[in-house]
Amino acid sequence: MRRLLLGALAALLPATAQAGYAPREPWQKKTLAAIRREAKAVRAARFERRDKLVLLMVDDGGRRDGYVETICVVLSQAGIPDGFAVVVQVLDEHAARRGLALEMGRAICTKMEDGGLVTFD
């Protein structure tokens, strides 16, 4: 099942991401580990690029913008660099299996030098 989900996620990613982008920075690895450990509703998570995190979740009919803001906090706690922005996008897992990118939530997460967290949608 997990292979199917990761395969569906890979089908959605552009060629540059499919060419083998792997999280290299400690904050990226910490973010993915925290999501796997704590975010049970997330079926798959992957950094598409250094500045874009894609999550697959089951569509319950609602938007997931609030959930994405929680992921922004996870990014901050994992040590995202000050002033660096990461786009977090939530896609419907079932649509992804069919090759569609049905977005359920999105935010741009930025950690400021003073430790504050800013999110934009």
What is the model's pLDDT at position 2?
42
Whether 20 is in a domain gets the answer no
- At 115, the pLDDT band (50, 70, 90 cuts) reads low
So what's the pLDDT on residue 121? 58
- Considering only CA atoms, which of 54, 88, 55 is closest in space to residue 73? 88
Residues 6+ apart with CB under 8 A from 7: none
Residue type present at position 92: D
Q: For the residues 51-76, what does the mean pLDDT come to?
A: 91
For residue 21, is it within any domain? no
* Element at 96 (helix H, strand E): helix 93-97
Residue 77 lies in a domain: yes
Quick check: is 23 in a domain?
no
pLDDT value of position 118: 61
Residue 99 lies in a domain: yes
What is the C-alpha to C-alpha distance for residues 70 and 67, in angstroms, rounded to an integer?
5
Give the predicted TM-score (pTM) of the model.
Answer: 0.77
Contact 46, 9 (CB under 8 A): yes
Q: What's the domain range around 82?
A: 2-14+28-120
What percent of the chain stands above pLDDT 90? Answer: 55
